Amino acid sequence: MRKITAQYTTREMMDVCRKMDIPVAEMYSIHSIQNHPQVQSTGLFQTMAHPTEDEVVTTRPTALFSKTPASIYKPAPNLGEDTERILNPAP
């Protein structure tokens, strides 16, 4: 299958499938989807500062509520950063 499909662009392969009444949809990588106009119009991805990684790109909460807006206020912790706090019993 890979040898056959490698001969075509994504658009060409989709056209072939559609002509044969085969359900088809384009697949995106996480990196390429960020540039898709529909995704950009929704503001799904946000950039935030990270203390050790400069800037990181993350997704915002997907459900948007006007009365209870959600947000990501800090980046994910580094590996092991919260271990002691989580494993220590509450006072």
Who contacts 62 (Cβ-Cβ below 8 Å, separation ≥6)? 44
> Looking at 1-91, which runs of residues are DSSP E strands?
45-50, 54-59
pLDDT (0 to 100) of residue 24: 95
pLDDT (0 to 100) of residue 15: 96
CA 51 – CA 78 distance, rounded (Å)? 9
Residue reference for tokens 């009365």: 67
Chain-centre distance of CA 67, in angstroms? 25
The pLDDT of residue 50 is above 80? yes
CA 7 – CA 12 distance, rounded (Å)? 9
